Structure 1
Amino acid sequence: MAAQYAISGTTARGISASVERAVADGGLVPGAALPPVRRLADELGVSPGTVATAYKELRQRGIVVTKGRGGTVVAQAPAVGSRRPPRVPEGVRDLAGGHPDPAFLPELTPPPLVPAVPGSHRASPRLASLEGLAREWFARDGVPAERVTFAHGALDCVGRLLSTELRPGDSVAVEDPGFHHLLDLVPALGLRMVPVAVDDRGMVPEALRTALRAGVRAVVCSPRGQNPVGGCFSRERRDALVEVLGGFPEVLVVEDDHNADVSGAPSYALAAAGLPRWAHVRTVSKHLSVDLRWAALACDGTTLARHDGRLLMTSGWISHVLQETAARLMADGAVRRLVGRAEEAYAERRRALIGQLARHGVAAHGASGLNVWVPVRDEAAVVSGLRSRGWWVAAGARFRIAAPTGVRVTTAELPPADAARLASDFAAVLGESEAVYGG
């Protein structure tokens, strides 16, 4: 077994490094079983405790999981690299990427002049003009904007918050289904994920209560445009979640409002409810440019100090050229009008597909955002069937932990005129897959 899996080493660290290399190189694929502890110990000539320690380290880092009597196996998304989507086949319409329509993105024009900052940029990490725009952006939706800072995108910000707040082995409550890159990031930080069910209004309060009682130290959620289901908080849902969180004041609540300006839903942010530990993150990648890696963060004082302290010790600051570019776009009236048209178009396209699917008796979810989530029994059959008809959609396995199966369809570039044909093809594919299952 050890030779088959190319596992070597005489120390726990050496054994775990050997397994990690095999996973990264593809020698150990997701779902592959590792040898039982005693067997591998005998083959390597080490104690069972040494192998057990190696396996524990691999579990904590999200590379393997233990399935009771099923033994230790490579995780479905091992944290030695992000779970990349399959390559889009030639000749099909790509509805799997989750990206905005380029027609609604303004051109990026580098600023003609960015004034030099005397000494180190660490002394003035944020441009005053952009900081002012960010405060207005948050305050518009009732998010407290007394403490604002910047990051290199939403995931960069969330990762820094979790790594400064938690320690390896701690638990984080995440949406299920949820954003696949976040589901990669959490185990890569050595943290455990506790799934929380979502519906058309975001996190389900009782599911969140269960996770909090299980001892999670942080919660990461989306107030609107939830990916992939498209849920958005109503006032009632927000208030119910705040009530649940009220019993756990030490837990850090991170809201990822990543498509705030094009979600097609009003803001009912948890951050506006006076939580003791909170962070509200917004990025511009969905409405200004996927290449504009800038995010704004509003948060409580303790969280701000920890975030900026870690930022100071790593990248130090966000490029002032990048900040100036973002500020110019955010202050441009023509750009704001273009973003408004994008939000209207995305809502129309999302509703069109949901309506057309409903005509065929197919239930779908997408109250906000750029995607529609369709529950299906066999993800692979649906993806393959739609591919044969010229459509490429995302299998739900990338987004799920314990949630039921489904597929995600990005509607950002799907005009309403094409929704009827896709819905008809979808219904036909579902009929074929149901027939395979015997009805």
Structure 2
Amino acid sequence: MGSGELEPGQLLPPMRELAERLGVNPNTVAAAYRTLRERGVIETDGRRGSRVRSKPATTGREFIRVEVPAGVRDAAAGNPDTALLPPLAPAFAWAAAQGDREPVLYGHEPVEPDLARLARAELDADGVPAGPVAVTSGSLDAIERVLAVHLKPGDTVAVEDPGWGSLLDLVPALGLRTVPVGLDDDGPLPEDVRRALEGGARALIVTDRAQNPTGAAVSAARARALRAVLRRYPQTLLVEDDHGHRIVDLPVHPLAGVTRYWAFVRSAAKAYGPDLRLAVLTGDELTLDRVRGRQRLGPGWVSRITQRAVVRLWADGAVDAKAVAAAYGRRRDALIAALAERGVAARGRSGMNVWIGVPDETGAVARLLQAGWAVAPGARFRMGAPPGIRITVSTLTEDEVGPLADAVASAVRAVPGRGYV
């Protein structure tokens, strides 16, 4: 496989047949297949056999990106506006001083008590069920740990489509299979979720707000419909990602608690800075106990100095959540309105991204690049969903809205081989 002799999607020979051909014990071939499956290189579909994954998980979607030449405006990276992030130096200076007076050594509790207290109070206020609190190195780290302690290679996970590219890479990298779930502005479609769970999916991952890349946010009505579906499958592992916390002015409508196993994740990345690498995780007792147990065998804990710095940022009100949400909302709404004036439909109910369906994804990205705009190709976020592009509006200025909308309208209307329509 490493030599490239086997094509993506190619069916592999049955294990016994390959063992006879190679003159080795069938257990050796079975172990090799198992290792390849766990690494996301091959996938197994019951009696249909094993085949090379069409997109091996080890390659990742990060290679599907646009290089931003000098002079081109970057609306592709998905980063928050640094002008809206708080200064970190004062909080870390304070946290380090606390650490000098009371160093954290091996055997100490992994979670800063004040962080757990503040996080739990906000979770309670938002209707997230009671549960212990853990701290991980960002949302993806939390999701990986939750999936790893509950699922085994070959299990299926229902994921949003289009959805977060890193998550779409992570699931197969763990040796798991993905099944796509469609979504609209109000979140995952209940009928798609039902089909996925009825088809054997053991886990469901939902983004509560600021869904990447579409900006969807789970509404109260959609949350009720999804809970009704999940009640029929109580053994489902439910993972919720609320990375839009403190950058979105829409309320969260958690699904947590409707199934036996659940986890709810909140990251500090978008509101306070990606380099903090900190997320708060809560969930049912068994899930959190397993996650903390595995964490002890790896990194042990997330730096308590970092945790204390986040506590200071929270306690000082370093981020005006309403102002941040309003700033992103103005930029997002302005672009969507400008596109609508030009006959281009776009989605972006919350967060810092706008999703635009296009007939020719590659061509649209290339034409926008020529016009001076770098946008993210939808292939980074899609499984079976139609083509699209993602535009990050976090730093978009008022003067840029019109020119960007003009460029998008021109790029979208161009048809390969036929010019513009």
Q: Pick one of 248, 264, 275 that aligns with 1:280.
A: 264
Q: SS of 1:311's equivalent?
A: helix
- Separation in structure 2 between the aligned mates of residue 86 and residue 190 of structure 1, nearest angstrom: 28
Q: SS of 2:335's equivalent?
A: helix
C-alpha distance after superposition, 1:108-147 (max 9, x if no partner):
1123413365784443111111111111221231213442
Q: Check whether the contact 1:360–1:423 (CA below 8 A) recurs between aligned residues.
A: yes
Q: 1:119 to 1:378 in 2, by over 3 A?
A: closer
Q: SS of 2:281's equivalent?
A: strand
Q: Check whether the contact 2:37–2:153 (CA below 8 A) recurs between aligned residues.
A: no
**Where does residue 123 of structure 1 map in the other structure?**
108
**Where does residue 382 of structure 1 map in the other structure?**
364
Q: Check whether the contact 1:263–1:370 (CA below 8 A) recurs between aligned residues.
A: no
Question: RCO (CA 8 Å, sep 6+): is it higher in 1 or 2?
Answer: 2
**Structure 1 residue 252 displacement after superposition:** 1.1
**Where does residue 214 of structure 2 map in the other structure?**
229
1:346-425 pair list within 5 angstroms: 346-425=328-407
1:158-197 pair list within 5 angstroms: 158-197=143-182
Q: Pick one of 80, 94, 117 that aligns with 1:100.
A: 80
**Where does residue 316 of structure 1 map in the other structure?**
300
- Separation in structure 2 between the aligned mates of residue 72 and residue 436 of structure 1, nearest angstrom: 39
- Separation in structure 1 between the aligned mates of residue 388 and residue 139 of structure 2, nearest angstrom: 25
Return 46-55 or 385-394, whichever deviates more: 46-55
C-alpha distance after superposition, 1:260-285 (max 9, x if no partner):
111232211112x6443211100010
Instruction: Give the letter for the 1:295 counterpart.
Output: A
Count of aligned residue pairs for this structure pair: 410
Q: Check whether the contact 1:41–1:48 (CA below 8 A) recurs between aligned residues.
A: no
1:116-265 pair list within 5 angstroms: 120-265=105-250
Q: Check whether the contact 1:111–1:321 (CA below 8 A) recurs between aligned residues.
A: no
The answer to whether residue 41 in structure 2 is matched with residue 63 in structure 1 is yes
Q: Check whether the contact 1:79–1:185 (CA below 8 A) recurs between aligned residues.
A: no
Instruction: Give the letter for the 1:160 counterpart.
Output: R
C-alpha distance after superposition, 1:190-232 (max 9, x if no partner):
1111111111111000000000011111111101111111111
Q: SS of 1:150's equivalent?
A: strand
C-alpha distance after superposition, 1:50-96 (max 9, x if no partner):
879856753553224699x9x95553353255634343222211111
1:327-338 pair list within 5 angstroms: 327-333=311-317, 335-337=318-320
The answer to whether residue 408 in structure 2 is matched with residue 426 in structure 1 is yes
Q: 1:36 to 1:322 in 2, by over 3 A?
A: closer
**Where does residue 12 of structure 1 map in the other structure?**
none
Q: Pick one of 296, 318, 324 that aligns with 2:280.
A: 296
Q: Check whether the contact 1:264–1:343 (CA below 8 A) recurs between aligned residues.
A: yes
- Separation in structure 2 between the aligned mates of residue 207 and residue 33 of structure 1, nearest angstrom: 25
Instruction: Give the letter for the 1:94 counterpart.
Output: D
Instruction: Give the letter for the 2:306 counterpart.
Output: L
Q: Which runs of 5+ in 1 are unaligned?
A: 1-18
Q: 1:119 to 1:347 in 2, by over 3 A?
A: closer
Return 207-216 or 124-133, whichever deviates more: 124-133
Provide the identity percentage: 41
**Where does residue 114 of structure 1 map in the other structure?**
98
Q: 1:437 to 1:292 in 2, by over 3 A?
A: same
- Separation in structure 2 between the aligned mates of residue 118 and residue 418 of structure 1, nearest angstrom: 49
1:13-28 pair list within 5 angstroms: 19-20=1-2, 22=3
Q: 1:128 to 1:63 in 2, by over 3 A?
A: same
Q: 1:281 to 1:33 in 2, by over 3 A?
A: closer
Q: SS of 2:126's equivalent?
A: coil
**Structure 1 residue 45 displacement after superposition:** 5.1
- Separation in structure 1 between the aligned mates of residue 306 and residue 333 of structure 2, nearest angstrom: 35
Q: Return the TM-score normalized by structure 1.
A: 0.85
Q: SS of 1:174's equivalent?
A: strand
Q: Check whether the contact 2:42–2:56 (CA below 8 A) recurs between aligned residues.
A: no
- Separation in structure 2 between the aligned mates of residue 48 and residue 396 of structure 1, nearest angstrom: 45
Q: SS of 2:157's equivalent?
A: strand
Q: 1:77 to 1:390 in 2, by over 3 A?
A: farther
- Separation in structure 2 between the aligned mates of residue 178 and residue 97 of structure 1, nearest angstrom: 15
Q: 1:165 to 1:65 in 2, by over 3 A?
A: closer
Q: 1:144 to 1:383 in 2, by over 3 A?
A: same
Q: 1:126 to 1:53 in 2, by over 3 A?
A: closer
**Structure 1 residue 37 displacement after superposition:** 4.6
Q: 1:119 to 1:364 in 2, by over 3 A?
A: closer
- Separation in structure 2 between the aligned mates of residue 232 and residue 308 of structure 1, nearest angstrom: 29
**Where does residue 54 of structure 2 map in the other structure?**
75
Q: SS of 2:128's equivalent?
A: coil
- Separation in structure 2 between the aligned mates of residue 316 and residue 63 of structure 1, nearest angstrom: 29
C-alpha distance after superposition, 1:154-204 (max 9, x if no partner):
100000000000011111111111100001111111111111111111100
Question: What root-mean-square deviation, in Å, do the aligned CA atoms of Structure 1 and Structure 2 show?
Answer: 3.0
Q: 1:279 to 1:66 in 2, by over 3 A?
A: closer
C-alpha distance after superposition, 1:209-258 (max 9, x if no partner):
00001111111110111111111111100000000000111111000001
Q: Check whether the contact 1:122–1:312 (CA below 8 A) recurs between aligned residues.
A: no
**Where does residue 70 of structure 2 map in the other structure?**
90
Instruction: Give the letter for the 1:250 counterpart.
Output: Q
